[in-house]
Amino acid sequence: MMNGDLRRERAAATFQPELLTHILDGGAERTRRRKEIEALVINDPDFQHEDLNFLSRSQRYEQAIRKSSLMVMKLREHGIADPDEIYWFKRTCLGPFPEPFGLHFSMFQKTLETQTTDAQKEKWLPLVRGVNIIGTYAQTEMGHGTHLRGLETTATYDPATQEFILNSPTVTSIKWWPGGLGKTSNHAIVLAQLYTQGQCKGLHAFIVPIRQLGTHEPLPGITVGDIGPKFGYDEMDNGYLKMDNFRIPRENMLMKYAQVEPDGTYVKPLNDKLTYGTMVFIRSIIVGDSARSLSRACTIAIRYSAVRHQSELKAGEPEPQILDYQTQQYKLFPLLATAYAFHFVGAYIKDTYRRISGDIIEGDLSELPELHALTAGLKAFTSWTANAGIEECRMACGGHGYSRCSGLPDIYVTFTPSCTYEGENTVMMLQTARFLVKSYTQVSSGQRVTGMVSYLNDLSRQRIQPQHVAARPVTVRINDPISLVEAYKARAARLVEAAAKNLQAELNHRKSKEDAWNRTSVDLVRASEAHCHYVIVKLFTAKLSEISNAAVRAVMTELCLLYALYGISKNTGDFLQAGILTDTQVNQVNQRVKELLAIIRPNAVALVDSFDFHDVHLGSVLGRYDGNVYENMFEWAKKSPLNKTEVHESFHKHLKPMQAKL
Amino acid sequence: MALLDSSKHLQDSVLSGVNPDLASERLTASFSVEKLTARLDGGAEHTRMRRAIVEAIESDPAFSRENQYFQSQNERYEAAVRRAVHLQKKMREMGWTENGPEIKYIYRWLSGDIAFLLHRVFMRSISVLGSDKQVAKWIPLATEHQIIGSYAQTELGHGTYLQGLETTAVFDIATQEFLLNTPKISAMKWWPGDMGRSATHTVVFAQLYVHGKCYGVHPFIVQIRSLQDHSPRPGVTVGDIGPKMNFEHTDNGYLMLQNVRVPRENMLSRFCEVQPDGTYVRWGSKKINYFTMTTVRISILSDEVILPLMKACTIAIRYSAVRRQSKLKPGEQEAKILDYQTQQQKLLPQLAAAYAFHFINIYLHELFDRGYQEIQGRNFDSLPELHAFSSGFKAMVTQYCTSGVEICLRACGGHGYSLLSGLPSLYTRVLASCIYEGENTVLFLQTARFLIKCFMAASAGQPIPPSVTYLSSAKPGKCPAKDKLDFLSPDVYLKAYEQMAIRLLSSNAAKLQHLIQSGAKKHEAWNQCTVQLVKAAQAHCHYITVKIFVETVEKLDNKAGIQKVMKHLCDLFALHGIFSNAGDFLYDGYLSGAQMDLVTASYLDLLAVIRMDAVPLVDAFDFTDKSLNSALGSYDGQVYHRLYEWAQKSPTNQQVSPAYGKYLKPLLQNRLSKL
């Protein structure tokens, strides 16, 4: 039976949630197919298991391996091969948790597909696809992460035996973090500094067997293990790998681009920008992950806030739903709007990547630099925002949010490393900034730039006037998303210009470029953030016109306005300082934000229902679709490991002797 | 320069001696670390005592937390009970007492990782709320651990809003007993620590009914487990609420009562009583209850909230001086990440905040000690002010420290995510403080209510409490600063904070008045302004924190370089606040856009200055390696060796995982046989 509060919320919605679900899925047919695939898992008793929160780390790892193995077999059984469909299937098997085979299918297989010669493909790909070997991708070292050139592992070519000798020369060079490395994999792609004929040729990738097939024991010369407990990722055996004079045949270097000939002659790759493509792809996935993780957190927090009653708004009346408090709405609804915004941005990047990846294969890389710069920044912007947003959702659930039964701790600890992996966020922001400054410099020297940075072209026109670029009056209409896009554009232009000018000023004072860059980096990050923020508001706004159903469009327009206005109210300093908004307008923005909270309130539950997460995806007692929170919290707690016996053994071991002695 | 030694070489040196990258940081300290430590402790003699106690505890293997990160919930709970039992023994051995000066250092070192903390709350609540007779009966039993207590207030359906509690206690004249019941599932007691598995007794808060009339929430001592075999008493359902983000060692519990009877004498009756004939009498002031709640909020700040931030700063800053990544200049060695401006901007404001909150905490304690004396003398005048202070500062400090610890965690990149860094546990622990002892948003609104009242009174020319007199000095104006150095003058930034706090409050007052005049009911008007009211309360607390920091710095000894370095931190704390809330300062034109650029410039300059003292400034917190329990934050900076060594101890590496035999092997071989 559905909780009465949630039933009333759903009945009061002004639009049909399924229609919005179709938009998020990319069409009604895709929604249908997704649900069909999810049902395959949900209705399969083999996938049932105890709540992972009650298990020890070793047990969680074991469960994950069980499910991953099962998943491999079942995917084949059901004949599911489309990447999206595989993703839907996996996500339903695993909930929000990572899988120990994750890197096998993503990085290991993908790298072998893209960086090997035909002969290598023929040898390895059947083994990989058939899971005859399990592989991982060993790049990060204890002492080096985002800065790849600093990696210390060496691969020295020995022409006498036609082998590479792999070594981890220092403690800091031990491979550290790769998922699936600790216990699961028997092969790894290892990134190492290649030495041949006495010269270092930089980083290259090698296939390295690490465990004996059949016994799974580490091979001689290999030290491998698990890096220990982490904040989350209990299911994943992130590992370490140390190699001592470990030899692999010459053919184990991935040689599609660079090659080492039998005599040790090094043949340079034609173009090293191609690896960009993979990075763009993976970062675009993180943008989508940010949207999904934040959506899950919003679903839990908003449903719970509709069920939880507390305190009084009006003396003598029953306790209201906490969702009726303005402060609660202010915590949650902007995040809801953000989740939608990020969905659309994620879809945009995925489409753009798909569109230009054909060009990339044919060698046309003209669009890649901008997309690369944009995804770096958006990866950082969305993961930072989602990271903070998930925590905000958890806090909004009070004490119960702190319990593992809320599911929010798991969402948070699983998501938060995405601020670090695939490029540390601050470093990502600075990459975007580099592109922005470059574009600004081009414009300053009279060239035109295209794409998302084309607003910088306007600078040259204004330079005639002795003002800041943004000091030109932007007439902002706060109820018009298109006008708000202009306001964000002006802010981005102002901050890019300010950062570029500060950089120039530092350059004029100091000798080194790097020093100047470092001393401007806080400004540069701000500029990147403003640029990304603009792009998101722009993409969200653009999406509105594509929505055909009037009721859905209306509610999405409200969310889009809330997203844009809330962003302004949180960054009023930028808008005021640049003269984009006046004090009065800032007041109006703050007022309008509060009005929008009240307008969105009746649709809040329907808006999270539209994300269409099954309870299995949420893993949350607080976020259950039926809203029966308290009964199920009690049921859940009864299963806690501490409750296994009515009297805990500590009583006999410690309490009783203490009381006897005293 | 020693700074340029090859880090590669150093990291491969044996795991003894201090990593030269850290050693060099300590050589250039501009102040005496030892003197600052003594200042933080409140005098060198306190430092000596603290160190002696820490030494006594750390040398006792029973208190070791070495394998903590590898333990399951069950193991953590058992270890905490074992440690609590051992502590009793240790205290007798050492001659330490519950009321002695040592106790705070003991519990600070244990940092809560011990059982029976709620037992202490149980005892405190009996001492404060119980009659002399009740104190005489229960306190000796509890002191001797003949009974183990807990404190059962929060329910599944109700937390901060106490009046909403649903547990009932109905007086039965016939038997002279109270009949306690959990009438529905949301009324189940939920969260109380030590209750899930350990406690034999608990103080239950329930709605008192006599002759069918409800008298509101009152405390009752209820025995929940047998003193013989520890099994639940008849009518009692009790257990552990399951895993949480942290506090694995604590058996937070649930409790359901079905017609559980306790004698009339078990209602704690210092302030009110139900007499044998059912007459309800109240004496003394109800306000004293508030005072207890108020002091608890302040008492948690130091150990539970500020200390974790200090530890997080210590770990993150030391690690940032050891971790080298990427190059600042081509051809040079990779730079310490602490040399990156963006890293400084993440960490150094947190360091400044840790000091700011240390000082505000001392100030609050002085304020409360004075308040307590007045209340003892039956003068309740300062209560509203104290209440507003405790609410607002509890909310601000917990919120700030929580986000600060998380920033430190993320500033350590991938390694911060490892439990072995110590940072995840610090974070999940400190963040609980945002919720317990009053949810922060609710608390900010209580402060806002007080401030609005004071503002109205000030506008009407009535007297207002000393801490808010600034509210009556509101004068519109412009900031006089012309140069970035002007923003290093406390007068200049204090005035800016003051203006901003007043402006936020006055605009709220005006808005409230406007809404009420246009026909809104009072409570509706209030709910419509709550987002801005929270902001006003935050601004007030922020202003007072800056002000107290400034005043503390002025009073510091200018010898040994301490005053100077504290002044830098104070300036940084203040300017970081302006930089991060630029809109609020620009809004009414008190600061111009050009002045905001000066603030930014001054703020960024300070980062580079404080960077030079960053490591000594965290050294001054004087945490031992064992109390940090972090592979990244140790004093010697041997980060990588320690990470590797600790990881090898992980149970995942000690035991053979059954996963290979059970799942991987069949999967791999299944396929091989098909080839």
Structure tokens at B340: 């990156």
Q: Using CB atoms, pick whichever of A69, A171, A182 lies closest to residue B644.
A: A171
B253 is in an annotated binding site: no
All domains of chain B in start order, with CATH = 147-284 (2.40.110.10), 289-619 (1.20.140.10)
C-beta separation of A242 from A174 below 8 A: yes
pLDDT of residue B503: 94
pLDDT of residue A467: 47
pTM over the 0.90 mark: yes
pLDDT of residue A40: 96
pLDDT of residue A250: 97
Structure tokens at B377: 């003398």
| Residue-by-residue DSSP string for B280-327 | EEE-S-THHHHHHHHHHHHHHIIIIIIHHHHHHHHHHHHHHHH-B-S-
User: Given pLDDT bands bounded at 50, 70 and 90, which one contains residue B8?
Assistant: very low
Name the phi and psi angles at B201, rounded to 5: -130, 160
User: Given pLDDT bands bounded at 50, 70 and 90, which one contains residue A470?
Assistant: very low
Cβ-defined contact of B230 to A656 (cutoff 8 Å): yes
Cβ-defined contact of A171 to B185 (cutoff 8 Å): no
Interior/surface letters A420-441, b for 16+ CB within 10 angstroms, e for the rest: bbbbbbbbbbbbbbebbbebbe
Q: Is B446 on the interface with A (CB under 8 A)?
A: no
A 386-405 → B contacts, CB under 8 A = 391, 395, 398-399, 401-405
- The neighbour count for residue B568, using CB atoms within 10 Å, is 20
| Residue-by-residue DSSP string for A207-275 | EEE-B-TTT-PBPTTEEEEE---BSS-TT---EEEEESSEEEEGGGB--SSSEE-TT--EE--S-SGGG
User: Given pLDDT bands bounded at 50, 70 and 90, which one contains residue A460?
Assistant: low
Mean per-residue pLDDT for A539-551?
Answer: 97
User: Given pLDDT bands bounded at 50, 70 and 90, which one contains residue A462?
Assistant: low
B519 is in an annotated binding site: no
Residue with the larger pLDDT of the pair A371 and A409: A409
Residue B3 has pLDDT above 50, yes or no: no
Tell me what ipTM this predicted complex has.
0.94
Beta carbons within 8 Å of A335's beta carbon, 6+ residues apart: A294, A297, A298, A389, A392, A393
pLDDT of residue A574: 97
Residue A661 has pLDDT above 70, yes or no: no
Residue B9 has pLDDT above 50, yes or no: no
User: Given pLDDT bands bounded at 50, 70 and 90, which one contains residue A461?
Assistant: low
Residue B194 has pLDDT above 80, yes or no: yes
A 70-99 → B contacts, CB under 8 A = 72-73
Contacts of A58 in chain B (CB under 8 A): 651-652, 655, 657
C-beta separation of B237 from B189 below 8 A: no
pLDDT of residue A474: 63
3-state helix, strand and coil shares in percent for chain A, rounded to the nearest 5: 60, 10, 30
Residue in A245, A115, A261, A260 with CA at minimum distance from that of residue A194: A260
Q: Is A145 on the interface with B (CB under 8 A)?
A: yes
Residue A471 has pLDDT above 70, yes or no: no
Residue A472 has pLDDT above 60, yes or no: no
Q: Using CB atoms, pick whichever of B418, B585, B675 lies closest to residue A230.
A: B418
- Dihedral over Cα of A425, A430, A434, A437: its sign: positive
Mean per-residue pLDDT for B169-187?
Answer: 97
Q: What is the pLDDT of residues A145-181, one digit of tens each?
A: 878 889 999 999 999 999 999 999 999 999 999 999 9
pLDDT of residue B2: 36
Structure tokens at A53: 């929160």
End-to-end CA distance of chain A: 53
Cα-based distances in Å from A487 to A341, B579, B597:
17, 21, 21
Name the phi and psi angles at B527, rounded to 5: -60, -35
Residue B13 has pLDDT above 60, yes or no: no
Q: What is the pLDDT of residues B205-217, one digit of tens each?
A: 999 999 999 999 9
Mean per-residue pLDDT for A216-220?
Answer: 95
Burial class (CB in 10 A: 0-12, 13-18, 19+), B486: middle
Q: What is the pLDDT of residues A33-79, one digit of tens each?
A: 999 999 999 999 999 888 888 998 888 999 999 999 999 889 989 99
C-beta separation of B426 from B311 below 8 A: yes
Name the phi and psi angles at B188, rounded to 5: -60, 135
Query: Is the backbone of residue B278 left (phi > 0), alpha (psi -120 to 50) or beta?
Result: left
Cβ-defined contact of A514 to B441 (cutoff 8 Å): no
Mean per-residue pLDDT for B647-667?
Answer: 84
* Residue in A422, A486, A497, A506 annotated catalytic: A422
* Residue in B437, B498, B554, B645 annotated catalytic: B437
3-state helix, strand and coil shares in percent for chain B, rounded to the nearest 5: 60, 10, 30
pLDDT of residue B475: 77
Task: DSSP letter for A655, please.
Answer: I
User: Given pLDDT bands bounded at 50, 70 and 90, which one contains residue B672?
Assistant: very low
Q: What is the pLDDT of residues B66-88, one digit of tens each?
A: 889 999 999 999 999 999 999 99
Residue with the larger pLDDT of the pair B559 and A156: A156
Separation between Cα atoms, residue A541 and residue A480, nearest integer Å: 10
Residue B5 has pLDDT above 80, yes or no: no
pLDDT of residue B581: 97
User: Given pLDDT bands bounded at 50, 70 and 90, which one contains residue B289?
Assistant: low
Residue in B606, B613, B634, B565 with CA at minimum distance from that of residue B39: B565
State the residue for tokens 């989508």.
Answer: A288
Q: Active site includes B439?
A: no
**Maximum Cα interatomic distance, chain B, rounded to a whole number of Å:** 92
C-beta separation of B218 from B175 below 8 A: no
Mean per-residue pLDDT for A405-418?
Answer: 96
Contacts of A572 in chain B (CB under 8 A): 582-584, 586-587
User: Given pLDDT bands bounded at 50, 70 and 90, which one contains residue B99?
Assistant: confident
Residue of B nearest to A578 (CA): B593
Name the phi and psi angles at B49, rounded to 5: -65, -45
- Dihedral over Cα of A637, A641, A644, A648: its sign: negative
Q: What is the pLDDT of residues B27-58, one digit of tens each?
A: 999 999 999 999 999 999 999 999 999 999 99
Q: Using CB atoms, pick whichever of B242, B416, B531 lies closest to residue A330.
A: B531
Instruction: Give the helix/strand (H/E) hosting A124.
Output: helix A118-129
Cβ-defined contact of B186 to A630 (cutoff 8 Å): yes
Cβ-defined contact of B651 to A58 (cutoff 8 Å): yes
Pairing of strands B168-172, B201-210: parallel
Separation between Cα atoms, residue A202 and residue A258, nearest integer Å: 11
Cα-based distances in Å from B513 to B510, B518, B522, B525:
5, 9, 9, 8
C-beta separation of B199 from B224 below 8 A: yes
Mean per-residue pLDDT for B121-134?
Answer: 92
Contacts of B430 in chain A (CB under 8 A): none
Task: DSSP letter for A197, please.
Answer: T
Separation between Cα atoms, residue B83 and residue B64, nearest integer Å: 9
Q: What is the pLDDT of residues A574-622, one digit of tens each?
A: 999 999 999 999 999 999 999 999 999 999 999 999 999 999 999 999 9
Q: What is the pLDDT of residues A240-283, one digit of tens each?
A: 999 999 999 999 999 988 999 999 999 987 666 656 677 788 88
Contacts of B196 in chain A (CB under 8 A): 642-643
Cβ-defined contact of B436 to A416 (cutoff 8 Å): no
Residue A465 has pLDDT above 90, yes or no: no
